[in-house]
Each structure stands twice: as structure tokens, then as C-alpha cells.
Structure 1
């Protein structure tokens, strides 16, 4: 990965050949991929947040019938990323399962796919509020936080200025007024010091980055990396619209 300027003042970034955005995050070079994953080349680590596996079956238990395909679709995308990048480390940044019973509801074929995924790399489950107990049978290590270089990975962002923090939990989305109407997309959000990752799960919802939940997290108005079909679109703060 070639050197890029920090994404702070002026939002230094570069578009990659794969459609992602390359930038320096607290001094670490990262690639924001259009899948919603963050790639750290130096550590050969792929970080994905908020898979919410078995959300469909959780809703079905409560009488809200959703097509039961979210886990399969999410694993399809995760496996595609690992084939493309061949990471040494895969970090699941919390809320990997939608609730504490999700792992028990996991179909045998999906459980086997998780075991296969873990076989060739170091799999780390950073726990979140939906899966605070961590996996019970699935392979991998469990952590509350994880340090990679100058970055601290945790599920839920902490208030105040936290240089190097990478988190999920908020499911950021960018709403942009385009020439053909308003577009709303999952997005990364970063000021070059810290970043919040989009939800990776097929059924995970999204929270507008102009919501007050993001207030106070960034030292300056942040940049949104909106996920498009072909690339990650860099969107400045003044171009973002509230819901």
C-alpha cells in the first residue's frame, strides 16, 4: 500500500484500484473496502463489524417473519473478502451474533463454514452488547479490546477524543442529495484519528451519521466513506443530510 496523507485536515485519501479508500488512520495505513470491511495491510488484518448473524431467526421467534437467508448472505460476503485478501487475522468487531441464543440456532452448515473460515487464520471475536458472552462452540479467541499498531479496536465507541479507536455498534449511514434524488448508504465515518465501521450484516440497519449519537466523537467534522456498488465514495460533512 502506498503512503497516503492523514485523513484529518483536508481529508487526505486515495482511491484504490479495488474501489476502496486508502487513508492514514492515527498513523496506520488502512483501506476502507466497499464490502464494509477495513483492511490493515501491515498486520494483514481484516476487520468487520456487526454481522448480527441469525437476526432473521431472532425476529421469527418473536413472530416477525423475515426470509431466513441473512446468515448465509453475510457469510458469503465474508468468505469473498477472505478469498480476496487472504488475511492472517480476522477481527469480528462485536455483535457478530444477533443475540445470546443465535449460536444455538445456527444451522450446521453455517457452523461448519465458520470453522472452515477460522482454519487458515487467527480469528478474534471482540464482544459486543448483543453477544457479550462470546462464542460458545465456534472457534477463535475472545477479547474485549484489541490493539493493532496504533489502533485500539472495540465494539462500542467511547466518548470524547480517542485517537486510534476503531469501533462499530452505531451502524453509520450517509444520506446524500444526488442529482437523481436522495441516496442513503452504509458508510465508514472518520476524522483521521478514529473511525466507526459500517454494519457488515445483511439485515443490520443503519443510523444517520448526523444523529446526535455521533456527537462529540470526532475532533473535526468527519468524512463519510459511503459504500457504493463499484467503490467507496468520499463524502464531506457539509454534503451529508439528516434523516
Structure 2
């Protein structure tokens, strides 16, 4: 159900759930969890959403860890919807997250929503280098770079599906893993700027579905804004 591919010498799997698995490193990578988004919107007078997105995201993360048996986790930034969101986690959600972290090497990469170090444990870094790959929140320097931030998505059979974007050995952009996250359509100016013409989109959903990036662009509405 996943899509296996080679990237800058690493053998990776784009999981249908939106996580990246590196079996040789026993590593799971997720991006843009946006824990606490509904609370942040309510606090700032925005749309009132049912406050269940953190629990749904934790459930999917729990399942991905169970399936892969990963002993190391990298969260590629925007793990919390803002710096206050970590402090406002419901106790049941906090304990669930702490249980998932227990016994694992857990790395939080800083994002634009959560630029400061948290207090929930794990390691907090601006970026990370591992076995030839560089992990950071936003695409900067091509060459074995794994990032998030853009929440890429494409349309298939009339439905919006988050997707991975893979540009040879240069860049790999992960979809947003969190519930209630918006996205940037393939073909948006910001994505075209960092993806080459031969890039691949891997759509998530019931199974991981690889498509040429150009085909994903043609099937998606043109929009330059990132719904957050």
C-alpha cells in the first residue's frame, strides 16, 4: 500500500497515511502535525472547529509507529499550531503523546508556527543531518533535502489528497500529517519554484499512488494560497 523509492542513496517508503518510513534507520518522519489547531483558531476568534483533531492525529501517528516499529521519529516542524498550543494540550492527549515518545529517539524540528523549543521532551533542533539526508521544515538547499511546510495536495477523481513531492535526489517534500490542515495545490507558484519538471507526486489515501508532478498539476485547481 506504500510507495518504495530511492532518494539520495536512501531506500524510503512514502506511506499511504502520509508518513515517511526509512526502514534501514528504523525512522519515521512526519510533518505539520499542527496539534491544537482548533484551540488556536478559537482563541484568536476564528472558525470554531470540533476539538478532536489532535486526537485523530495522535491515533494515526500511533498506528504508523505500530506498523513500522520505528525507534526514531523526526517531526518536521509546525508540530504545534503555535507555541501556546503545547501548554493547552488536554491531559489525555499529552499523556498519549508522552507514551508514544517513551523509549524512542524523538526529534522536534522547529517550524514557523512553533519556532521555539518546547517542554514536552525529546530533542529540539533547527534542522538535522542523518546518513546523507538533511531534515528541515522549509525547503532551502537542494541535495538530499527532506522538508514539509507547504502541505502539498492534488486532486484525483474529484477528491483532494495530500501528497509527497519527490524531485530526483534534490528534494522531498512531505504532506501535512495533521487533521484539519489545509494545503497547497500542485502547480502553485511556490511549489513550481522548488520542483523540477521531472518531479513525482505520490498521493496519499487508501494506497500511495505515484503520478508525474505535471499530471498532478493538470488535475488540480490553480491556487497560490496555503489554507492554514
TM-score (norm 1): 0.86
Counterpart in 2 of 1:163? 143
SS at structure 1 position matched to 2:118? coil
By how many angstroms is 1:107 displaced?
A: 0.6
By how many angstroms is 1:206 displaced?
A: 0.8
Match among 36, 43, 63 for residue 61 of structure 1: 43
* 2:129 equivalent to 1:147: yes
Counterpart in 1 of 2:55? 72
Alignment partners' CA distance in 2, 1:238 and 1:78: 30
1:54-106: CA deviations, max 9, x gaps?
00111111332100000000001101111111111011110000011101111
Counterpart in 1 of 2:181? 204
SS at structure 2 position matched to 1:56? helix
Counterpart in 2 of 1:223? 200
Alignment partners' CA distance in 1, 2:214 and 2:127: 32
Alignment partners' CA distance in 1, 2:52 and 2:205: 22
Counterpart in 1 of 2:70? 87
**Which ranges of 4 or more aligned residues in structure 1 deviate by more than 4 Å?**
none
SS at structure 2 position matched to 1:190? strand
Alignment of 1:1-243 (within 5 A): 19-63=1-45, 64-136=47-119, 138-158=120-140, 162-176=142-156, 178=157, 182-193=158-169, 194-229=171-206, 231-240=207-216, 241=218, 242-243=220-221
Alignment partners' CA distance in 2, 1:134 and 1:76: 24
1:174-215: CA deviations, max 9, x gaps?
124x4xxx3321000002212100000001111012101012
Do 1:43 and 1:148's aligned partners in 2 also have CA atoms closer than 8 Å?
no
The structure richer in helix per residue is: 2
Alignment partners' CA distance in 2, 1:132 and 1:173: 24
Do 2:197 and 2:214's aligned partners in 1 also have CA atoms closer than 8 Å?
no
Do 2:78 and 2:112's aligned partners in 1 also have CA atoms closer than 8 Å?
yes
Do 2:186 and 2:213's aligned partners in 1 also have CA atoms closer than 8 Å?
no
The root-mean-square deviation of aligned C-alpha atoms, in Å, is 1.3
SS at structure 2 position matched to 1:129? coil
Do 2:79 and 2:114's aligned partners in 1 also have CA atoms closer than 8 Å?
yes
Please identify the structure whose Cα radius of gyration is greater. Answer: 1
Alignment partners' CA distance in 1, 2:189 and 2:127: 25
